[in-house]
Structure 1
Amino acid sequence: MSYRVIQWATGAMGKSCLRAVIDHPAMELVGLYVYGEGKAGRDAGEIARRDPTGVIATRDIDEILALDADVVIHCARLAPPYGSHDAEILRLLASGKNVISINGYSRPSHWTGERRDALDAACRAGRTSLMAAGLNPGFAGEQLAVVATGVCQALDHVEVVESVDCRAVRNPDYVFRILGFGSDPAAVDAKDPAWGPASSLNGMYEEVLAAMAEHLGMPLHAVRTDHRVYPATEDLGVAAGTIPEGRIGHVNWRWNGIVDGQTKLTMSIHWWMEATHLDEPDPPLWRIRIKGHPGVRLSLDLEKRDGDTTATSAEQVAVAGAVINAIPRVVAAAPGLVTRPLATPFQADLAHA
């Protein structure tokens, strides 16, 4: 079976997904939405550094809505507040296109009220489904950590710790405004949900913990934040610019899932521009720490295939792989808001379609 795919946005992650769709024998690229005027009107193959595809990038949402497609890979960049991309996702779902998001929607049914009702209604109108994929959100908590609890007779606490070296991220607006680097730590309260980065991330990772809790059969009663920022110990020259000494050079985002008054789930994400404040100087991408009977400790890194000299990182390749492997699941799902299944493994028959 082949799948007709629209790629939405071509930032670093979106471009990796675009390449994966173009390269995959079971995927047919039928549309490409871009935000930048410089990309509009160009062939998708040119943007992806591939041969011409005949698919021309557009900034016209109506052109995308008019296309016949099985799924849209939604890779829009984080933007405060969380849910700021709902309007376009609602239109895509209602137009008859399933949607996979790499930035949230791990368990949108966690919410109550108008937002959930609108997403439900769009899925019903288009007979479509909405599901998250990607690494985190997507794989680390909702799949990997939950599966690792399968050896436990009793479960006390699950913690996912992610450590990401952000020095190579080039976009200044993303680094300094969206992620909060370079801000004055005395002038911001990282726990304030109105602070731009927190307003983008809190809802997203509350859904991650809600998805984990759903898989584990736990009633998630609350999510409490314990975010921390650390000042740079010296002037830091990074790809996006300069972070002066004393300004934020490391953020540790922490979300705690409360079950029956106790912290049962923790998502901890270190985004750093210097390693000074890390627990260890060269941490893996993820550490999963499960306290229970027995306890479990996992350490996981990603690496590129031997001989791959492209600028695409292993993480970018992995996001695209996670999305491609999720496409058959979201297309086959009953209409509605879908929590990602515990496993969406590589499928050899799909890879050789």
Structure 2
Amino acid sequence: MSLRVIQFSTGNVGRHSLRSIINRPGLELVGVHASSPDKVGRDAAELCGLDAATGITATDDLQALLALKADCVVYTSQAETRPQAALADITAFLAAGTNVVATSLVWLVYPPHADAWLREPIEAACAAGGTTMFVNGIDPGFSGDLLPLAALSLTERADEILVQEIFDYGTYDDAAFTGASFGFGTTPDTVPALFLPGVLASIWGGPIRLLADRLGVQVEELRERHETWTATETITCTMMTVEPGQVAAARFAVEGIVHGRPAIVMEHVNRLTAQAAPEWPFPPDGRPGVHRVVVRGVPGVEINTHVGDESTDHNMAGVIATAAKAVNAIPAVCAAPPGLTHLSDLPVAQAHGLMP
């Protein structure tokens, strides 16, 4: 019997997860949420670039979607700038008996790290509906949990763990959220939301604590650091146009302090052009992006993961991968015990692929 699934949002990530749900055997699309008036009433296939109509049209009526009593909702609506509204949506589904897989509310990638204001209402809704919620993606998500855990499975002893996303974001059409969050196109004295005290640790501190808990060590402190690089000439890219003196690259990290030293580190290096910040790390082999984990210990292990190929831009591939991470988890989440769950609680084999 197929699992009945709702797609909530049809934006950057949602249109890819919507397509995946429609195409995947074992899943049945029963509802689509869209907040834009120009999307309401349109067929799901049209909203994700497929030709054959599904007969399922988008709605902005939350109550109608709750009444479907679906097995799962894929929640990809941007939530970090509207957490209370997203929390209300998600708890309504959970309490009504619909499981949730999400790529937003990234504070919940490792629920024990999340603040009580967010975690407790979701736990209560899961208990009321007998449901499960799982949040993941590519970063935060895969790069900070599954990838380092794979590397650690090969080590006799781990002394330090470095997780990096090094990406050229120039081809990423998301100036309104990603660009603004990173401070791209602003002056260096402007502090974007991401660099306000505590924000980085609230997002990437979860994966650090997950790894620390699996290794049985205590994180004494989460330290944040960040720096920016300003353009020396005009940069025109898909993300935006950056003038000289404006920020065109950002580097930041959260350091998990163990025994007084940075032992588990999550770092980002993001540019809008390959010419930006030439002194900062680059992906290997001339690649435009990498998710990398480096374990120093016995033996040392390094894993470099690249998404995209000659036909798929690396930033688009990252968005597709984020959507796939959620959709592939649906069966495992629907079969899991009620509550907020995370990678360590679910089967690792959340995999699906159709050969032509």
- The equivalent residue for 2:114 is 111
Which stretch shows the higher mean deviation, 89-98 or 76-85? 76-85
Q: Give the drift of 1:328.
A: 1.2
Structure 1's consecutive aligned runs of 4 or more residues displaced over 4 angstroms after TM superposition are: 81-84, 189-192, 308-312
Q: Give the drift of 1:52.
A: 0.9
- The equivalent residue for 2:144 is 141
Q: Secondary structure in 1 aligned to 2:19?
A: helix
Q: Does the 8 Å CA contact 1:226/1:253 hold for their aligned counterparts?
A: yes
Q: Give the drift of 1:131.
A: 0.8
Q: Give the drift of 1:346.
A: 1.8
Task: Please give the alpha-carbon distance, in whole angstroms, between the structure 2 residues aligned to 1:85 and 1:234.
Answer: 40
Residue 189 to residue 29, structure 1, CA distance change in 2 (3 Å): closer
Task: Please give the alpha-carbon distance, in whole angstroms, between the structure 2 residues aligned to 1:175 and 1:151.
Answer: 34
- The equivalent residue for 1:184 is 187
Q: Give the drift of 1:78.
A: 5.2
Q: Does the 8 Å CA contact 1:155/1:292 hold for their aligned counterparts?
A: yes
Unpaired runs of 5+ residues, structure 1, are none
Q: Secondary structure in 1 aligned to 2:329?
A: helix
Residue 312 to residue 296, structure 1, CA distance change in 2 (3 Å): closer
Residue 100 to residue 302, structure 1, CA distance change in 2 (3 Å): same
One-letter amino acid of the counterpart of residue 243, structure 2:
P
Q: Give the drift of 1:80.
A: 3.3
- The equivalent residue for 1:237 is 236
Please list the CA deviations of residues 136-162 of structure 1 after superposition, one character each: whole Å capped at 9, or x if unmatched. Answer: 122111111112111222111111111
Q: Does the 8 Å CA contact 2:162/2:293 hold for their aligned counterparts?
A: yes
Decide which of 337, 340, 349 is 1:344's aligned counterpart. 349
Q: Give the drift of 1:189.
A: 7.2
- The equivalent residue for 1:56 is 57
- The equivalent residue for 2:205 is 206
- The equivalent residue for 2:87 is 86
Task: Please give the alpha-carbon distance, in whole angstroms, between the structure 1 residues aligned to 2:181 and 2:297.
Answer: 37
Q: Secondary structure in 1 aligned to 2:13?
A: helix
TM-score, length-normalised on structure 1? 0.88
Aligned length: 344
Identity %, equivalent residues: 30
Task: Please give the alpha-carbon distance, in whole angstroms, between the structure 2 residues aligned to 1:191 and 1:165.
Answer: 18
- Aligned: 1:222 with 2:221: yes
TM-score, length-normalised on structure 2? 0.87
Q: Secondary structure in 2 aligned to 1:22?
A: helix
- The equivalent residue for 2:296 is 291
Unpaired runs of 5+ residues, structure 2, are none
Q: Secondary structure in 2 aligned to 1:181?
A: coil
Residue 92 to residue 210, structure 1, CA distance change in 2 (3 Å): farther
Q: Secondary structure in 2 aligned to 1:226?
A: strand
One-letter amino acid of the counterpart of residue 263, structure 1:
P
Q: Give the drift of 1:319.
A: 2.3
Task: Please give the alpha-carbon distance, in whole angstroms, between the structure 1 residues aligned to 2:25 and 2:193.
Answer: 45
